Amino acid sequence: MKLRIVIGVAVALSLLYVGDLAALRFRHDPFGTITVQRYDAIPEKNGKVEFQVEPPVAQSCVHSFFPHQGYPPCWYLSRHTEQRINY
């Protein structure tokens, strides 16, 4: 019984991903851009962290539910416009 549920969920997710990819392929404008604010988190010897803010950059994204072609989905990127880069 549990195996059928796992297989059913796997098949459903696979179909959702393939459908998302097909919708992306046939969309007129599949890519978008969102302005992202990045900041560097640099650890210091005394245990504190120094933050350096970088200028905002426009990052490409795809209008889909899942990431495709190496780009994050626009719905996710629009909710995570501040990106911390750890060193």
Structure confidence by residue, pLDDT tens digits, 21-63: 999 899 888 999 999 999 999 999 999 999 999 999 999 999 9
- Domain locations along the chain: 2-86
Q: Is the pLDDT of residue 1 over 90?
A: no
- Cβ contacts of residue 17 below 8 Å, gap of 6+? 66
C-alpha–C-alpha distance, residues 34 and 38, integer Å = 12
Q: Is the pLDDT of residue 66 over 90?
A: yes
**pLDDT on residue 28:** 85
CB 51 within 8 A of CB 5: no
Mean pLDDT of the chain: 94
pTM: 0.77
**pLDDT on residue 76:** 96
Name the residue type at position 43. P
CB 68 within 8 A of CB 21: yes
